[in-house]
Structure 1
Amino acid sequence: MKAVLFDLDGIITDTAGYHFLAWKAMAKKLGIEINNEFNEQLKGISRIESLELILKKGELENKFSMAEKEELATNKNEEYKKMIEQMSSVDILPGIELVLNELKSKNILLGLASASQNGPFILKKLGLIDLFDTIVNPAELSAGKPAPEIFQKAAEQLDLPVKECVGIEDAAAGVESINNASMVSIAVGDRAVLSAADKVVASTNQLTADLIKKVWIDCSETN
């Protein structure tokens, strides 16, 4: 194992609440009401894909041009960025800073494979950006999760074969993306939802460098 590739939301920090509030405000302006249950569908997918689902819910999917959709998504993101200005190291999820430093001490490369275009900004706010060796720009990808491209791109940017990488996710679409990239997958959350992962842990503070390495070794031996 030479690299670990992390999702952002739900793994390093939790900005889902901010995303929900920003989407909810935008949707309300269009006369569409969304709730927490609907918001679950928006996790792990791109900004435009999230917007498309919201417009479909309001039966407005054919009302806007692509340029208008881009503007709506940009406006939502500006609102979201105002909200996350207040983020700091206290917003790092339990155990994550420790495991990142553990991995770095073992000369394991770290990559960010997040659908969020605000990844670099958030990592700076959290004080973690210097730990990461590469960050994939989701705007440069042709397909979002569950397509494998984002994890493949992270491996490519690190100049590593996918078999030397482990991906860590909290969403089913993300796990599918890792698996489609032929990488070892570790998920954080509900085992029933994330059963496709090679290993599932209940919370981020259960992630350790030794556990990640063991999962990679076990999977390498069985494949």
Structure 2
Amino acid sequence: MDGVLVDNMYLHARSWVELFRDYGLEGMDPERYLRETAGMKGLDVLRHFLDPGISPEEADRLTELKDFLYRVMYREEMRPMRGLERFLDRAAELDIPLGVGTGAGARNIDYTLATPGLKDRFKAVVGSHQVPHGKPNPDIFLKVAELLDTEPSRCVVFEDALPGVEAASRAGMKAVALTTTNPADVMSRCKGVIEVVDDFTSLTPDQVIAGI
């Protein structure tokens, strides 16, 4: 969802950095968050950067603080990724079932999928709160495939983050990588990636199907 349906990952990174600074972690920058933990559950992000022993309850509290800051920062900028609406229209014409598998929590999912052009586009939506393990584990994508009544091997994941591409590979799925979080040369080296694009302006569902 984040960094794929909408180009918002840098704002997520900035909000994490502001939270970390408030809790005494200096010298952190958004690029490091994007490189090391983009797409992960809040609990895993906080254990990676702030406190390896943080409790799930405290992690939930801090993640909600971060998410509130993110929503305030992004409220006036919400719009679909370039070319996405045309891509989704064509997928609907081809009767391709679509799902969202995201490391975001319920409130951020509702917030983002309410963006004009995205509402009611997806048959299945799975967030980090609905599976035991977040990315890079495959749980989220496998749950989406189950809800879509589709074999994992027939699914293509669209991802911007390295943990997400790894999760797709571990789920037995191919991936299209977007360069909103990592550069093309990094994403092109990832296992299972069939295409690397900046956005959806030059991509069609027909091309994706042909590529698999």
TM over 0.5: yes
Supply the AA of the counterpart residue of 2:30.
N
1:65, CA displacement in angstroms? Answer: 4.2
Supply the AA of the counterpart residue of 1:30.
Y
Residue equivalent to 2:139: 149
- Aligned pair count reads 202
1 CA distance for matches of 2:69 and 2:30?
18
Residue equivalent to 1:106: 94
2 CA distance for matches of 1:192 and 1:52?
29
2 CA distance for matches of 1:46 and 1:15?
16
1:185 to 157, 175, 179: 175
TM-score (norm 1): 0.83
1:138, CA displacement in angstroms? Answer: 1.7
With over 3 angstroms needed to count, the CA separation of the structure-2 counterparts of 1:69 and 1:114, relative to structure 1, is closer
Q: Deviations over 1:58-90 (max 9, x none)?
A: xx444x5443332222211222222233244xx
Tell me the SS of whatever aligns to 2:177. strand
2 CA distance for matches of 1:129 and 1:87?
16
2 CA distance for matches of 1:191 and 1:76?
28
Residue equivalent to 2:5: 12
2 CA distance for matches of 1:61 and 1:150?
23
Which sections of structure 2, spanning at least 5 residues, go unmatched? Answer: none
Residue equivalent to 2:123: 133
2:209 matched to 1:210?
Answer: no
Equivalent residues of 1:148, 1:181 under 8 A apart: yes
Identity %: 28
TM-score (norm 2): 0.87
2:41 to 41, 46, 66: 46
2 CA distance for matches of 1:66 and 1:174?
22
1:104, CA displacement in angstroms? Answer: 0.7
Equivalent residues of 1:112, 1:134 under 8 A apart: yes
RMSD: 1.8
Tell me the SS of whatever aligns to 1:129. coil
Greater relative contact order, per chain length (Cα 8 Å cut-off, separation 6+): 1
Supply the AA of the counterpart residue of 2:165.
V
2 CA distance for matches of 1:191 and 1:49?
25
Equivalent residues of 1:135, 1:154 under 8 A apart: yes
Supply the AA of the counterpart residue of 1:144.
G
Moved over 6 A (4+): none
Q: Give the greater-gyration-radius structure (CA).
A: 1
Which sections of structure 1, spanning at least 5 residues, go unmatched? Answer: 1-7, 217-223
Which stretch shows the higher mean deviation, 8-17 or 67-76?
Answer: 67-76
2 CA distance for matches of 1:202 and 1:66?
36
Supply the AA of the counterpart residue of 2:126.
V
Tell me the SS of whatever aligns to 1:185. strand
Equivalent residues of 1:198, 1:215 under 8 A apart: no
Q: Deviations over 1:105-151 (max 9, x none)?
A: 11001101111121232011243121111111320111111111111
2 CA distance for matches of 1:28 and 1:167?
33
Matches within 5 A, 1:38-117: 38-40=32-34, 41-55=36-50, 60-62=51-53, 64-88=54-78, 91-117=79-105
2 CA distance for matches of 1:47 and 1:19?
11
